[in-house]
Amino acid sequence: MTNNPKKLAELSNYIQQFMANRYTEGYVKGVHDQDAALIVQQLLELNEQMDLLRYPPDVRACASLYWNIFENQQDKALLSAQLKGLGVILEVFPNSQTKGDIVEKLTSEIRTFLEETQLFDLQIAAQAAEYLFYELTRSNDFVISKEAANLYQQFQQFLRQQKRLSKYNTSIEPLADKPAEKFKLINSWLQAFIQNNNNETNTQTFLSNRYINEVTTLLILDNFNPKKVVNVSTQQAISNLKGSHSSIQKGGIYDLDYHQFMQKIQTYTKNIVPKYQQFSELKKSKTEQFRHQLRLEEFKPRVLSSFVRNQLIDKVYLPLIGDNLAKQIGVVGENKRTDLMGMLLLISPPGYGKTTLMEYVASRLGLIFMKINGPAIGHHVTSLDPDEAPNAAAREELKKLNLAFEMGDNVMIYVDDIQHCNPEFLQKFISLCDGQRKIEGVYKGVSKTYDLRGKKVCIVMAGNPYTESGEKFTIPDMLANRADTYNLGDILGDTEHLFKLSYIENCLTSNAILNRLASKSSKDVLTLVQMAETGDREGITFEANHTADELNEYVNILEKLLKIRDIVLRVNLEYIASAAQADEYRTEPPFKLQGSYRDMNKLAEKVVPIMNEQELQTLILSHYESESQTLTNGAEANLLKFKEINNLISDEEKKRWEEIKDTFQRNQLLGGLGQDRMGQLVGQMTAIAKGLDDYSKAFIDGFQNISTKLGEGE
């Protein structure tokens, strides 16, 4: 083989371009580029030198035998004339692809010949027809390989030297009218000759049996022509290969057998590739079908476009959540714990983004987000078996939960609104949250014990203990002891400033004007909030470019949002404080209006720069008036309390609020007596005594004040 550096470089560039889109086929750039270039160069040289010898021996033997013996003589004359004509066309137009219908006709006839005689593999019919076409368009003499010529001559020499030629001729003469049987007999003579020769020399004198059919054809036709022998070896040794394939010998040498190599390529292209493509399509179809059955798209974390990673999340929540998840799923590196355990419990009033935050964390960690809906499960479900669920909704949620156990890895199991779940149901998670990491589940009707030790699985539960059904928020003690509990709706430690700031950061995208600011620079947001709080613009710099008018608009709106924030925050704190009280200790009706991020966003979207103080106050009151309507008979009391804590209550409303509290306290006193007349009488007398006691205390306090003032000489 001649190594032409320029040609090798061109081949290497072509191969690199050809393989650029096939990065999934295990192709190694550099090493494989060089080896492929050397192999392709050798194939191109052999293809040019071999002429029609590039067709395998069996293909050429099949075509020659069919044409010279089995083809109908009348059809043969017509075909020969047509082929000669096409040969002239190809001589004038070498690149012409014109073959007419002759090749298809030859393929059909050769296939019939092979089916009848069974002399060759049926698969070579198309190749034999193509070879026959090219051979007959230029002459009626068929090319002979060097290896077949050597075998032919050695066989003839053996018959003469051993004086076996007459025996050979005598054995085949009776089959003169039966060419197929004659072919098989001659073939048997050659096989015996090769076997005998190999046994005597203990070497592989001939290249296996590959050329036997070609030599058999030469013998049966008796048309050996030394001038048609192509003295090119179909085997070449290629050196300097760098790959580590099993077919490459020590020293980087690869024995290239042209016909074997091309046959392998054709088999790969025609059989393996289509079957692999069919397999891939079937696999894809089955995977999509199974994915649809499992509803995997529903479990993919989808972070809301309005999600804001504010400073409270960055500096407070994510470190806390990260510490918990490190205990549950471990960390990368040598510091990974082997005793994975624990659970994360998030509580808050509604509207603080518990689910949104955990979906964001699951997305960042690449976990499947398996959200289990607590209200759908309900208080009546105590078993993890879907078949025992009382309704379809609960059954589907339990199926999802057991599917998460079945997945067993890379999953965040998020049980939402657990205040709606039965404590006995939650108790099932105790063993899953300790060092055992085991739980009993039921998947597709089969009960299983799931061992999730060492697996990338985390358990997160979220609940709202402040709702009207707060008395049902009951978590088993043993489960609570295994959980890290955080309240997202209250101030954690010394993070009051971040908690207050989060109200502003979360509502930016809700306001059309501030949304433009949020998309430019988060640092500028903090700077403008500081300006709105202090009114100081000295030495202020910005990351993004803002016009003076834009800055004035931003500050104007932020000043209004800070006022709204203070009111919403007071509502939130009052809501939590009220919810934390037991009913028997209340001195006024429970406060159920909420001040969450959701309320802040609703108000922020309606704020415009031209609003005055009165319009802003009207906006806030209108919002909470609307919110209070959902409380039905508690609407009046809640709205009056809202006005009281925000100093918006009038004298008349204040008087009404005092009446409501007095009535509430009397009802509290008498509420537990039912129809007991004597008890009610005692209760009334107790109320009168309490009133007299209050008047007495007021009289004494007043008298002491007067005495003090007289003593001071006033």
pLDDT 10s digits, 337-386: 666 888 999 998 888 889 999 999 999 998 999 999 999 999 899 999 99
What distance in Å separates the CA atoms of residue 309 and residue 253, rounded to the nearest whole number? 60
Number of domains making up the chain: 4
Among 487, 507, 531, give the residue marking a domain's end: 487
The pLDDT of residue 73? 66
My answer on whether 349 and 456 are in the same domain is: yes
Distance of CA 640 to the CA centre of its chain: 52
In a domain, 527, yes or no: yes
What is the phi/psi pair of residue 372, to 5°? Answer: -105, 125
pLDDT at 205 over 50: no
pLDDT band of 125, cuts 50, 70, 90: very high
Is residue 230 one of the residues assigned to a domain? yes
Residues 364 and 401 in one domain: yes
Task: Check residue 359 and give its pLDDT.
Answer: 92
> What's the pLDDT at 335?
60
Q: Quick check: is 197 in a domain?
A: yes
More confident position, 11 or 599: 599
- Return the number of other C-beta atoms located less than 10 Å from residue 227's C-beta: 6
pLDDT at res. 386: 93
pLDDT band at 74 (very low <50, low <70, confident <90, very high): low
pLDDT at residue 470 tops 50: no
Residue whose token pair is 């059309």: 512
Of 274, 234, 241, which is closest to residue 256 (Cα–Cα)? 234
Question: What confidence score (pLDDT) does residue 94 get?
Answer: 59
pLDDT the model gives residue 657: 92
Q: Which of 116-120, 277-281, 476-480, 674-678 has the lowest mean pLDDT?
A: 674-678
Is residue 289 a part of any domain in this protein? no
Of 68-82, 103-117, 164-178, 681-695, the poorest mean pLDDT is in 681-695
Of 434, 468, 487, the residue that ends a domain is 487
Residue 87 maps to a domain = yes
Q: What is the pLDDT of residues 554-591, one digit of tens each?
A: 999 999 999 999 999 999 999 988 888 888 888 899 99
Q: Report the percent of the chain where pLDDT is more than 90.
A: 36
Q: Is residue 273 part of a domain?
A: no
pLDDT at 468 over 90: no
pLDDT value for 671 = 63
Indicate if 361 and 433 belong to the same structural domain: yes
How many Cα atoms sit within 13 Å of 305 on the Cβ side?
A: 4
Same domain? 666 vs 641: yes
pLDDT, residue 698, reads 62
Q: Which helix (H) or strand (E) holds 449?
A: strand 446-451
Q: Do 174 and 82 share a structural domain?
A: yes
Looking at 442, 467, 487, which one is the last position of a domain?
487
Mean pLDDT over 102-116 rounds to: 89
Predicted confidence at residue 604, as pLDDT, reads 94
Residue of 243, 245, 261 lying closest to 43 (CA atoms): 261
d(CA 194, CA 583): 107
| 522-534 vs 512-520: helix crossing angle, rounded to 10 | 120
Between these two residues, 429 and 335, which has the higher pLDDT value? 429
Which position has the higher pLDDT, 34 or 445?
A: 445
Report yes or no: 344 and 461 within 8 Å, Cβ to Cβ.
yes
- Cβ atoms of 351 and 391 within 8 Å: the answer is no
Both 170 and 226 in one domain: the answer is yes
Q: Would you say residue 202 has pLDDT above 50?
A: no
Give me the mean pLDDT over the 12-40 stretch: 76
pLDDT recorded at residue 184: 93
φ, ψ (nearest 5 deg) of residue 331: -125, 170
pLDDT band at 245 (very low <50, low <70, confident <90, very high): confident
**Could you tell me if 474 and 526 lie in one domain?**
no
Determine the pLDDT at residue 392. Answer: 94
Domain that holds residue 163: 54-238
pLDDT of residue 388 exceeding 90, the answer is: yes
Is residue 576, in this structure, part of any structural domain at all?
A: yes
Residue 673 has pLDDT above 60, yes or no: no
Q: Are residues 405 and 526 in the same domain?
A: no
Q: Provide the pLDDT for residue 203.
A: 45
Mean residue pLDDT of the chain comes to 84
| pTM of this structure | 0.60
Do 490 and 464 form a contact (C-beta atoms < 8 A)? no
**Considering only 245-259, 379-393, 449-463, 599-613, which range has the smallest mean pLDDT?**
245-259
Burial of 353 (0-12, 13-18, 19+ CB in 10 A): buried
- pLDDT band at 26; cut points 50, 70, 90: low
pLDDT band at 43 (very low <50, low <70, confident <90, very high): confident
Residues 599-623 have a mean pLDDT of: 93
109/166 Cα distance (integer angstroms): 36
In a domain, 287, yes or no: no
- Do 464 and 506 fall into the same domain? no
Q: For 617, how many CA atoms within 13 A lie in the half-sphere containing its CB?
A: 9
Residues 508 and 466 in one domain: no
User: Does 71 share its domain with 166?
Assistant: yes
CATH number at residue 396: 3.40.50.300
Which pLDDT score, from 0 to 100, does residue 599 have? 92
Same domain, 624 and 575: yes
